Amino acid sequence: MATREATWNYRDRHHERFARTYFRSFGNCVVSSVGVGTYLGDPTDEADEDYHEALVEALESGINVVDTAINYRCQRSERVVGDAITESDVNREAVLVATKGGFVPFDGERPTDPGQFVREEYVDTGLVDPDDLVRGQHCIAPDYIDDQLERSLDNLGLDTVDLYYVHNPETQLETNSQDAVYDQLEDTFVRLEERAADGDLRHYGVASWESFRVGEGADSYLSLPAVVSRARAASDRAGTDSTHLRAVQLPFNVFMADAFTVAAHDGAEGSQSALWFANDAGLDVFTSASIMQGRLATEMPEQVEAKLDGETRAQRAINFARSAPGVTSSLVGMGSPTHVAENVGAGTFEPLGASAFDAVFD
DSSP secondary structure letters along 238-305: HT-SS--EEEEEEE-SSS--HHHH-EEEEETTEEEEHHHHHHHHT-EEEEESTTGGGGGGT---HHHH
**What b/e sequence results for 112-124 when a residue is b if at least 16 CB atoms lie within 10 Å of its CB, and e otherwise?**
eeeeebbbebbbe
Which amino acid is it at 32? S
Strand 65-67 versus strand 34-37 pairing type? parallel
Q: What is the CA radius of gyration of the chain?
A: 19
Crossing angle of helices 76-87 and 142-156, in 10° steps, is 40
Listed residue (312, 313, 320) closest to 361, CA to CA: 320
Per-residue DSSP letter, 334: -
Crossing angle of helices 224-238 and 274-281, in 10° steps, is 30
Per-residue DSSP letter, 143: H
Give the torsion sign (CA, 61, 67, 69, 70): positive
**Parts of the chain with a pLDDT under 70:** 362
Burial label for 102, CB within 10 Å (0-12, 13-18, 19+), is buried
Give the number of other Cβ atoms within 10 Å of residue 313's Cβ: 16
Q: Which helix (H) or strand (E) holds 37?
A: strand 34-37
Is 4-360 CATH 3.40.190.10?
no
Whole-model pTM: value is 0.97
Q: Distance between the two ends of the chain, CA-based, in angstroms?
A: 42
pLDDT of residue 105: 98
Strand 327-333 versus strand 34-37 pairing type? parallel
Q: How far is CA 287 from CA 34, 53, 57, in A?
A: 10, 23, 21
pLDDT of residue 134: 98
pLDDT of residue 269: 83
* DSSP codes joined into one string, 157-183: T-S-EEEEEEE-GGGGGGTS-HHHHHH
DSSP-based three-state secondary structure for 138: strand
Helices (H) and strands (E) in the chain, counts: 13, 12
Cβ atoms of 166 and 185 within 8 Å: the answer is yes
pLDDT of residue 297: 87
